[in-house]
Amino acid sequence: MSEPVYRLEVLTKIFDGTLTAVNGVDLTVRPGEKVAVIGPSGAGKTTLFRLLNLTVRQTAGRLWIAGQEIGDLHGARLREMRRKIGTVYQQHNLVPRLRVTHNVLAGRLGTWSLPQALRSLVRPREEDLRAAHRALSQVGIPEKLWARTDELSGGQQQRVAIARVLLQNPEVILADEPVSSVDPTLAHGIVKLLVELCSTFHKTLVMNLHSVDLALAYFPRVIGFRDGQVAFDRSPDEISDDLLTDLYAGRLTSVSAEDSPDAVPETIRSGTPLLRPQ
Amino acid sequence: MRPATLLVPAGILALILWSWHGTRFDLIGLLSADGRAQMLTYVQRLFPPDLSPDLLRKVAYWSLETFAISFMGTLLSVAVALALVFFASRNLVFTGVLFEVDEAGRPIRIARIGLYVVARALLNLLRTVPHIVWALIFVFAVGLGPFPGVLALGLHTGGVLGKLFAEVVEDIETQPLEALQAAGASRLQIFFYGVLPRVLPQFLAYSLYRWEVNIREAIILGYVGAGGLGQQIQIAISLFLENKLLTLILAIYLMVTMVDYSSAYLRRRLL
Amino acid sequence: MPYPKPSEAALPSSDHSRSLFPILFGICFAAAFVGSWQLAQIQPGLLFEAEGRRNMARFITGMFPPDLSLNFLRFLVVPFFETIQISVMGTVLAIAIGFPLSLLGTASLAHAGILNDLEIAGSPGRRLARTLPYVLARTVMSAFRCIPEFVWAFMFVRAVGLGPFPGVLAIGVSYGGMLGKVYSEILENLETQPSEALQATGASRWKILIYGMLPQALPQLVSYTLYRWECAVRASAILGFIGAGGLGQQIELSMRMFNFHEVVTLILILFLLVAAVDFLSARARKAIV
């Protein structure tokens, strides 16, 4: 039995001494697992993710990644650890003015020295170009290799972000609301793409989702997160409507479903998905 | 009407009246029959412009010299600004997303902040000292001629551009940088992949705009002996050579217009 | 873990447009660089020669300690205020000159766009009558702003004598040209709908201007004018060098007499003044927007 990819012990993050975003979380994620995290906005999901991809340091508690405790890592060792974790953000992952190929190849920066990185910016190596092209094919847009990134649509840019993560070849992929800024008709396609890629390449996947339907449809393990803590941690068939109502309770009143991207979906749980999967 | 709403216009009016008095603004004198006649005579003396081939040849040379001062001065200023900007931008030196987790020890942190402070102070010094004072200093150091003009423009404008550049750098969105960092890139790599592509176009725009300002400044530097058309204007006025003065003014007008157009053209084309 | 395998298929080619522009630009730039290096007589070596270094050392040691005596500071009160006054009057004059010129020089008011199309249509005479003042105004503004204020100051000093007055005139005229041009641009870039609506009620161009365009444009106009005032403060200091009063004149006198410790004090005061003006102006601009 191999080491868990993530092990959290009473992990806590408090901002400026007053705002407790993550409150004593215990969690274990095994290699190859696919985990969805759902919950109302402001619950601390994004902070949890930033702790998991080493963008912020915890205030208290302990964190192990792939068996190694994250204590005081910095410098090259911190970067090495970061390289093992691939992140797909909601939007603005990419550098707009660069060509798609450079944004994709940026996934290799963790393994490149500075001169190598600079050289690639001026004139990428043949083998790197082929790898980037291959990754773009896997996400469905190989022809965009030399396009300028800001000329792509939102959905296409997310695919480029995924291609970059593929090139990075991490052990675990974290996706923080990867489809919240994407046309809803494309959301299924992207979530499915990530899930399938992780299965094919044996990677662990942890995804923050706004849409409960997507979580229940594609993930065997769903974690409800609220007020900085884990509310429940189950498989979809063990999740009742009551459980979901409690999770989002008290958050429905101030927001109308139509006008805010943070609004809770209209049907918390429906027998048929809101959208037809592609 | 609330007293507060009256306060501001009243204050401004008072400021204007005080300034009118203090500068001995003699509108009446200017517009009086006598004043108008004086100005008319002066303007008449300017015409016709002296267009003798000898003078035209010299004016062409001085114009090119002034152009050269503005061109090299602007290039030097860009070099100075680039050298300092990356130490003068907070988000590249000690704070922001690039420094959140990777905290170095206290002494290194203090050294970084110190570096930032020094860079900013240097930029401030460069831009506060008027370019004309710099020109005098350099005339002092290396003698008369266009070279001190180049140095003066380079240093003074370097300070101005450096501050503008730093503001651009400090304003960039952090998310693409965060994404690169999460993939394991080092700070320098993030700089080349994420920061530079974002800021270079704006740097270029500011530099081109500054070139338009510098062609005008290069002329005034001539007054303190830094060569070019400015020096000639001073001579023409002191020797009462009004026709030559008009020729010089026409040359200046052409030069400035040309640089303005070139700068606008390049900004359209390169950005 | 398997890397994405290198692809065997043909790669799309980078379509970096092979236009002529980069090459042309490179050649022009190189030529300008080499030519300018010669013309500007650039000799970096001079900076490091013994004589140069000695002079710089003399200058730097002469600066400290700065002259902060009460006598000197008291003496500087008048020039200090003078610099502020010159900048204020100069800006006021610039508005007085620039605003009317800008109205004439705004294409959408003079001869183009919806305000003028129907009126002009079919009458070349009327078109000329509208276009001529426009062209004249534009030329005048261009002349005013392309001739540096320093040259204007020189001429005005000759015309009205030394002191702050020629400085005011110089700034007024040259900044008038700048304000005029920018005011025109602001007015031309306004949304046309409000003007269209007013026109439909039968209002004349004047009324459309006063009721429609100006209220819309006011924040931008004021904002740019405040920015120009900041520049005017710096300009007044510099014009002082050629006798137009204020702190600049004092700097020139002190430098001429090699009293560098006075020069430092003056520069410090100038710095404080400019910082204060920048601050006030930024505050005011934020309050407007």
- The DSSP line for C201-223 is TT--HHHIIIIIIHHHHHHHHHH
Q: Which two tokens stand for residue A66?
A: 């792939």
Secondary structure string (H, E, C) spanning B209-247? HHHHHHHHHHHHHHCCCCCHHHHHHHHHHHCCCHHHHHH
Helix residue ranges, H only, chain B: 3-22, 27-31, 33-46, 53-85, 90-93, 106-128, 131-142, 146-170, 175-182, 187-190, 196-222, 228-238, 242-270
Q: Which of B100, B178, B189 lies nearest to residue A117, judging by beta carbons?
A: B189
Whether A145 and A180 map to the same domain: the answer is: no
Residue B208 in contact with residue B267, Cβ under 8 Å? Answer: yes
Q: Which of B24, B147, B149 lies nearest to residue C165, judging by beta carbons?
A: B24
Whether A196 and A124 map to the same domain: the answer is: no
Residue A57 in contact with partner chain C when CB distance is under 8 A: no
Distance from the Cα of C24 to chain B's closest Cα (Å) equals 12
CA distance A255 to A257: 6
Q: Which of C21, C46, C86 lies nearest to residue B147, judging by beta carbons?
A: C46
Give the burial class of C44: count Cβ atoms within 10 A of its Cβ; 0-12 exposed, 13-18 middle, 19 or more buried.
exposed
* Residue that has been written with the tokens 């006008």 in this structure: A259
Whether A196 and A80 map to the same domain: the answer is: yes
Q: Which two tokens stand for residue B270?
A: 């390169």
Chain C positions in Cβ-Cβ contact with residue B234 (cut-off 8 Å): 154
Show the domain range for A138.
94-169
Tens of pLDDT, residue by residue over B172-219, are: 999 999 999 999 998 889 999 999 999 999 999 999 999 999 998 888
Tens of pLDDT, residue by residue over C52-108, are: 788 878 887 888 787 788 888 888 998 999 999 999 999 999 999 999 999 998 888
- Specify if A45 maps to a domain: yes
Neighbours of C207 (CB within 10 A): 13
* Residue that has been written with the tokens 């004059």 in this structure: C93
Residue A263 in contact with residue A255, Cβ under 8 Å? Answer: yes
Across the interface, do C13 and A146 touch by the CB < 8 Å criterion?
yes
ipTM of the assembly? 0.83
For residue C272, pLDDT beyond 70:
yes
Residue A44 in contact with residue A23, Cβ under 8 Å? Answer: yes
Residue B11 in contact with partner chain C when CB distance is under 8 A: no
- Any chains having at least 3 CB pairs less than 8 A from chain C are A, B
Across the interface, do C242 and B64 touch by the CB < 8 Å criterion?
no
Q: Which of C2, C4, C9 lies nearest to residue A167, judging by beta carbons?
A: C4
In the stretch 199-228 of chain A, residues with CB closer than 8 A to chain C read 201-203
- Any chains having at least 3 CB pairs less than 8 A from chain A are B, C
Tens of pLDDT, residue by residue over A39-70, are: 988 788 999 999 999 988 888 999 999 888 88
* Closest CA relative to residue B228, chosen from B236, B237, B219, B216: B219
- Specify if A192 maps to a domain: yes
Q: What are phi and psi of B218, to 5 degrees?
A: -60, -30
Tens of pLDDT, residue by residue over B27-47, are: 777 777 777 887 788 888 888
Residue A269 in contact with partner chain B when CB distance is under 8 A: no
Whether A35 and A156 map to the same domain: the answer is: no
CA distances from B208 to B105, B213, B259, B260, C274 (A): 41, 9, 10, 9, 24
Mean pLDDT of A148-176: 93
Whether A235 and A262 map to the same domain: the answer is: yes
Across the interface, do A143 and C12 touch by the CB < 8 Å criterion?
yes
Q: Which of B71, B256, B257 lies nearest to residue C32, judging by beta carbons?
A: B71
Domain end residue (candidates: A114, A140, A169): A169
Better-predicted residue by pLDDT, C126 or C219: C219
- State which amino acid sits at residue B256: V
Across the interface, do B184 and A110 touch by the CB < 8 Å criterion?
yes
Domain end residue (candidates: A127, A152, A169): A169
In the stretch 100-139 of chain A, residues with CB closer than 8 A to chain B read 102, 106-107, 109-112, 114, 117-118, 121
Across the interface, do B188 and A75 touch by the CB < 8 Å criterion?
no
- Specify if A275 maps to a domain: yes
* pLDDT-above-90 percentage for chain A: 59
Residue C56 in contact with partner chain B when CB distance is under 8 A: yes
* Closest CA relative to residue C91, chosen from C228, C278, C281: C228
Across the interface, do C1 and A202 touch by the CB < 8 Å criterion?
yes
In the stretch 56-75 of chain B, residues with CB closer than 8 A to chain C read 64-65, 67-69, 71-72, 75
CA distance C289 to C283: 10
Whether A178 and A261 map to the same domain: the answer is: yes
Whether A79 and A177 map to the same domain: the answer is: yes
In the stretch 79-108 of chain C, residues with CB closer than 8 A to chain B read 81-82, 84-86, 88-89, 92
Across the interface, do C12 and A167 touch by the CB < 8 Å criterion?
no
What pLDDT, on the 0 to 100 scale, is given for residue B115?
93
What pLDDT, on the 0 to 100 scale, is given for residue C183?
94
CA distance C58 to C261: 12
Mean pLDDT of chain A: 86
What pLDDT, on the 0 to 100 scale, is given for residue A34?
95
Mean pLDDT of C103-117: 80
- Specify if A180 maps to a domain: yes
Percentage helix, strand, coil for chain C under 3-state DSSP, each rounded to 5: 80, 0, 20
In the stretch 164-203 of chain A, residues with CB closer than 8 A to chain B read 164-165, 168
For residue C8, pLDDT beyond 60:
no
For residue A274, pLDDT beyond 80:
no
Mean pLDDT of C6-12: 63
Tens of pLDDT, residue by residue over B94-111, are: 888 788 776 677 888 889
- Specify if A89 maps to a domain: no
Handedness of CA A50, A53, A54, A55 (dihedral sign): negative
* Closest CA relative to residue B233, chosen from C242, C216, C66, C2: C242
Distance from the Cα of B163 to chain A's closest Cα (Å) equals 23
State the Cα angle at A243 between A238 and A249, rounded to 5°.
160
Domain residue ranges in chain C: 67-288
CA distance C135 to B202: 33
Provide the CATH topology of domain C67-288.
MetI-like fold (1.10.3720)
What pLDDT, on the 0 to 100 scale, is given for residue C2?
45
Across the interface, do B147 and C88 touch by the CB < 8 Å criterion?
no
Alpha-carbon dihedral angle through residues A244, A248, A249, A253, given to the nearest 10 degrees: -140
CA distance C36 to C42: 9
* Closest CA relative to residue C55, chosen from B146, B135, B140, B149: B140
Q: Which two tokens stand for residue B116?
A: 């930032």
- Specify if A187 maps to a domain: yes
CA distance C110 to C118: 13
When divided into structural domains, chain A yields a total of: 2
Residue C45 in contact with partner chain A when CB distance is under 8 A: no
- Specify if A42 maps to a domain: yes
Tell me, what CATH number does A201's domain have? 3.40.50.300
Across the interface, do B182 and A85 touch by the CB < 8 Å criterion?
yes
For testing the chain C interface, which of A146, A197, A202 should be mutated: the one with the most C CBs within 10 Å? A146
Better-predicted residue by pLDDT, A136 or C283: A136
Across the interface, do C6 and A130 touch by the CB < 8 Å criterion?
yes
Whether A183 and A235 map to the same domain: the answer is: yes
Tens of pLDDT, residue by residue over A167-203, are: 999 999 999 999 988 888 889 999 999 999 999 999 9
Better-predicted residue by pLDDT, C182 or C49: C182
Residue B174 in contact with residue B260, Cβ under 8 Å? Answer: no
For residue B3, pLDDT beyond 80:
no
- Specify if A207 maps to a domain: yes
Residue C1 in contact with partner chain A when CB distance is under 8 A: yes
Which of B229-243, C3-17, C108-122 has the least mean pLDDT?
C3-17
Mean pLDDT of C216-222: 90
What pLDDT, on the 0 to 100 scale, is given for residue A277?
37
Q: How confident is residue A253, by pLDDT bands cut at 50, 70 and 90?
A: very low
Residue C188 in contact with residue C107, Cβ under 8 Å? Answer: yes
What pLDDT, on the 0 to 100 scale, is given for residue C233?
92
- The sheet that has A229-234: what strands, in order across it? A85-88, A172-176, A204-208, A34-38, A221-226, A229-234
Better-predicted residue by pLDDT, A270 or C235: C235
DSSP state of B23: T
Better-predicted residue by pLDDT, C106 or C15: C106
CA distances from A94 to A53, A103, A153, A154, B196 (A): 17, 6, 12, 11, 14
Whether A156 and A273 map to the same domain: the answer is: no
Domains recognised in chain B with CATH numbers: 52-270 (1.10.3720.10)
Chain C positions in Cβ-Cβ contact with residue A142 (cut-off 8 Å): 7, 9, 12
Element (DSSP H or E) covering residue A89: none
Alpha-carbon radius of gyration of chain C = 27
In the stretch 76-115 of chain B, residues with CB closer than 8 A to chain C read none
DSSP state of A15: E
Q: What are phi and psi of A37, to 5 degrees?
A: -115, 125
The widest CA-to-CA distance across chain C, in whole angstroms, is 85
Domain end residue (candidates: A125, A154, A169): A169
What pLDDT, on the 0 to 100 scale, is given for residue B126?
93
